[in-house]
Amino acid sequence: MSGVVQGVGFRWSARAEAQRLGVTGFARNRPDATVEVEAEGPPAAVAAFVSWLKKGPPSARVSSVELSDLSPLGSTEFNVG
């Protein structure tokens, strides 16, 4: 995600939303001021999570989201890094 996504609680809010939806993976800040998120779970849950990521928490201003299909990592929880 890019936009105003660092310093606004984005990763922790993403974790709460992922847990609510039953999605696993991670969210971490990148040096270029973006946030990288990997998510896995049931397709409907991941789709709902992606929809949430496009808005983020109230204090965020998401300007773009890039999506890629990756092989599942087998995560059992959602981590913040």
In the chain the domains, ranked by start, together with CATH numbers, are 2-57 (3.30.70.100)
Query: Is the Cα torsion angle 53, 51, 18, 59 positive or negative in sign?
Result: positive
pLDDT value of position 59: 94
Residue 72 has pLDDT above 90, yes or no: no
Dihedral angle computed from the Cα positions of residues 61, 1, 14 and 31, in that order, rounded to the nearest 10 degrees? -100
Q: Residue 61 catalytic?
A: no
- 10-25 per-position pLDDT tens digit: 999 999 999 999 999 9
Does residue 37 carry a pLDDT above 90?
A: yes
* Residue 3 amino acid letter: G
End-to-end CA distance of the chain: 15
Task: Give the pLDDT confidence score for residue 16 in this predicted structure.
Answer: 98
Task: List CB contacts of 21: < 8 A, sequence separation 6 or more.
Answer: 41, 45, 48, 49
pLDDT category of residue 39 using cuts at 50, 70 and 90 = very high
Return all residues near 41 (Cβ < 8 A) that are at least 6 apart.
21, 22, 23, 24, 49
The pLDDT > 70 percentage for the chain reads: 100
Active-site residue flag, 29: yes
Catalytic residue among 29, 30, 61, 79: 29
So what's the pLDDT on residue 73?
Answer: 85
